[in-house]
Structure 1
Amino acid sequence: MNWKFFSKNKKTTPTVKKSKTREWVDALIFAFIAATIIRGLLFSAYAIPSGSMEGTELTGDYLFVSKFSYGARMPITLFSIPFTEPEMYGAKTYWSGVQLPYFRLPGFTTVKNGDIVVFNKPSETGTPVDQQTTLIKRCIAVPGDVLTIVNAQVYINGKIVPSAPKAQTSYTVVTDGADMNPQIFQDLNITIVNQSAANTYEMIIPVDNLAALKSYSNIKSITPVVAPAGQYDAEVFPSNPKFKWNIDNFGPLTLPKKGMTIKLNDSTVTLYSTAIEKYEGNRLGKSGNGYTLNGQKADTYTFRMNYYWMMGDNRHDSLDSRFWGYVPEDHIIGKAMITWFSTDPNKGLFNKIRWSRILRPIN
């Protein structure tokens, strides 16, 4: 019997030891690929640039956003410089000559009412979806929901939606005319929006700090600012005087749902033309008393995507769906999960870090 395959004299190919330079190059390539996969499919880090979610999320917060919760959206712009903003120093970091169709991997859940969601701003035109400005807001209504706002109170399907625990809005504050120490506003995180008279201000005040402000002897009254029903605001969706809506009195409006069919008439076209044309790529036209769709007479339209309604928790200092309407599903990036770091832009170097917000779950 031949046992030569156990022989110690069997020839082996000598291992070539990598140079230090090659080892570093291989490590960098591996790190780049791993980071690209993690950032593209699992998590991304985002910073809060404005106060639209103030109270819940603060300017200077840094977030981890889960992409796998709703399913990772595959890249739409094929050629872009990884880990950069869409525009840097006035130059684009992507080439839009080749764009892939929208596709999303399966997720563990769907966007739900109350989720804090990161998405691309839908009102931007001429820019690929995945290169549009990144925003963070709270999902107020999901596909098929009927949204109504009455005197600043949100209703979904006729039921009151409680405000976020740290929600903020604006108030008219009347004083006795005496000067107030500016440190008070800083300590209570109060923003002065405007001053209409010597003793009358509009202020954005955190709910938790209302009582503290009222306790000052020179405060005569504090009342919520609410735009009255029927007062038309041309900046508010759908920006048409047929619908006399404003940020505090709005709707009812049904959120489009994939497979939902609507009749095409003057009212529905006013409310849904943006979704039909801009987001779903159709061409609506008027033909006598009816409408055409892509050149053909049409009485109805069936939506191909789901749409969501996003609003900031800082209701009177948030540019959100009340101004630019629905957020299509292909604009959704992911769910905000953790505030991993936070800095206060108004504080000095040695007390800039908000230690209490580090590794804080988001809800």
Structure 2
Amino acid sequence: MSEPRASDRRADEAARPRSSDTAFSPAPARARTTVASPDPARRAFLRAAALGTAGVGALAGGLVPVEAEAQRAAMPDDGLGDFALLNLVLSLEHLQFELYNHALHGSVDLGPAFSGSAPGEVIGGGPMTGIGEDLAALVAECADLEARHITVLRAFFDGYGRSAVDRPAIDFVGGFRPFAGAAGGLGGAASPFASADALILCALLVEDIAVSAYTTILERVVDPNVRTVLHRVTPAEGYQAGALRMLARQRGLAAEARAIAALEARLRGTEVIDPGAGSGVIADAIPTDFSGFIPADDLGATLGALYAGRGRSGGGGFFPEGIVIGADGRRI
């Protein structure tokens, strides 16, 4: 029997599923549209939901490997296991989405498929007007991205037969007030929805916390599919933070951003690494350590900033009732 030709072997190898093919099958690129709608918030959600639905098959099938049952048995959803950590990520995604969506549309009910069966109250504001074309466009894209992250995360939980937590109770006024005070009061703006500058600084704070938290969580998770999802989400948050930081620099908010970074570091119990929005000839606007790495803090430090220094499990700040990490109501 003759040996198969090299061209035949290459064709066979090309047709054979690769391990990366079973690890993740990305959703199709979204189509941008400018068609008007009486409810742009719901339109954005439906677009995100449609893309999430398109990827549900991949999430429920391609993302879950053949040995999924063994992985489930080896990873009970207790303590700070993979799915508890993923619920923390989901809560942070809701925090970011609600910030951007309130700025654009105010309070909007997007239903249980998006927010859960018993979502917490959101103390916010908006819709905002007169924030400028560049900021409005960035906020709209960020809201769209966070909506898609939430949709895909919930589909991922479904694919694993797990229960995703409901949207937590969120307080933007209580969460941002101490940071606004550290930044000199921002003209009396205790709410991030009081001015464009306040919104930029609050969004930058929340995005930086999310990037640091996701970097920490990536170092802890075991399931390769959970890692894949986080690897895809984390860079998107980093791009958002970079865009917000440059807007802050252009608006002359470097001093305020540094003051907020200093308070965040105190609440975390860590040294100040975040340079704010930079100044001078070199922007110095990327919050890395001396190695040029994004720092990963322990989760207690992250919660210190989110809870305004009120302890790991008591809640406060942006999350007045804490963050639920399990279907049984356990909180972190």
Q: Could you say which TM-score interval applies, normalised by the shorter chain?
A: under 0.3
Larger Rg: 1
Give the TM-score, by structure 1 length. 0.25
Instruction: Pick the structure with more strand per residue.
Output: 1
Instruction: Pick the structure with more helix per residue.
Output: 2
Give the TM-score, by structure 2 length. 0.27
Relative contact order higher in (CA < 8 Å, ≥ 6 apart): 1
